[in-house]
Amino acid sequence: MTYAAIIGIGSYLPERRLTNADLECMVDTSDEWILSRTGIAERRIAAEGEATSDMAARAGTVAIQDAGVEPGKVDLLIVATSTPDMLMPSAAALAQAKMGLTCPAMDINAACTGFIYALQLAASTIESGRARTVLVIGADTLSSIVDFTDRTTCVLFGDGAGAVVLRASKDPGVLGVHLGADGTGADMLMVPAGGSAAPLTPERMAAREQFMVMNGNEVFKFAVRRIPQVTKQALRESHLGVEDVDWLVPHQANQRIIDTIADRLGISHDHVVSTIRDTGNTSSASIPLAIDALYTAGRLRPGQTLALVGFGAGLTWGAAIVRWTKEEDV
């Protein structure tokens, strides 16, 4: 049997920091409210003219170098994003050119679950023998769809990109993935205008419909109910239990959600990765950014088991169980 294993990782965060103190000057909020309700202290914001494909290419290039793979050996590029540079071409096609790759390239949009969806597709393609090396990037420029006059959303989101290179391996890497979606919950988190249902018009822009709207309370409840279930399902399908998880790497949406998920799974907070304080919610980028933070801190050891779990607009959700096989010096 051929498996897919992570052999390279990289990330990119834009330089500009947006702190809670900055937001206090923009909307009726406070550092105390944001920190206590979300755990976020600051987030990064893309520079003027810096698009999703730019950040994706930066993270992807680092991951390819980390993997020690020749760019010409990458067989497929998948970019998970819900904020592509433009409706077409895909952010993946634009990032492919920026990285000097020549392989097929496509976007996946499963909102904040995008990285887990992309990982499933990449692993399946490798396991089936149709590709040997796949670059998966999660990248989002949430600042382009956040309404910076809406305090209920603008304090939560940031920009960034994270990437992994997967390669065919005889040893198991991606052990199991379980995905889900329920489109009846679409109105809980959406950008109403700018697509085919409601093309942008001056009237829609005046009503600020080009920006994200969210029912935060409902998304919160959905996440803490669904994620423990899907994590257990993915573990079962991988013939593992919660006690086998060395690192829970949850989508970074809210520290209270992260803590509740860990508590409901019975996983000690020492085994949970949290980067939300410094990045906010970076959607598709949040899980690879969190893995990379763990990796660069030297805390990931070969043989350890990661449970990557995500949820977001759609509604979508997913969990991937991954055995870390990469040596630090590879």
Catalytic residues: 112, 251, 281
Round to whole Å and give the CA distance between 294 and 303. Answer: 15
Closer residue to ligand UT7 in complex, CB, 8/160: 160
Helices 52-67 + 91-99 axis angle, to 10: 50
Binding site for ligand UT7 (CB under 6 A): 29, 33-34, 37-38, 112, 151-152, 155, 189, 214, 216-217, 219-220, 223, 253-254, 257, 281, 312
Shortest reach from residue 228's CB to ligand UT7, in Å: 15
Closer residue to ligand UT7 in complex, CB, 33/73: 33
Closer residue to ligand UT7 in complex, CB, 40/78: 40
Which residue carries 């970019």 as its tokens? 79
Shortest reach from residue 231's CB to ligand UT7, in Å: 16
- 17-21 contacts, C-beta under 8 A, 24 or more apart: 17/42, 17/43, 17/44, 17/45, 18/42, 18/43, 18/44, 18/45, 18/158, 20/155
Q: Which of 133, 32, 140 is nearest to 83 (CA)?
A: 140
Shortest reach from residue 11's CB to ligand UT7, in Å: 18
Closer residue to ligand UT7 in complex, CB, 62/112: 112
189-190 and 247-250 beta bridge pairing:
unpaired
Indicate the residue type of 8: G
Residue of minimal CB distance from ligand UT7? Answer: 216
Q: Which of 147, 130, 133 is nearest to 214 (CA)?
A: 147
Shortest reach from residue 147's CB to ligand UT7, in Å: 12
Shortest reach from residue 135's CB to ligand UT7, in Å: 24
The DSSP annotation for 309-328 comes to EEEETTTEEEEEEEE----T
Shortest reach from residue 148's CB to ligand UT7, in Å: 12
Q: What is the CA radius of gyration of the chain?
A: 19
State the distance between the two ends of the chain, measured CA to CA, in whole angstroms: 23
Which residue carries 């949406």 as its tokens? 253
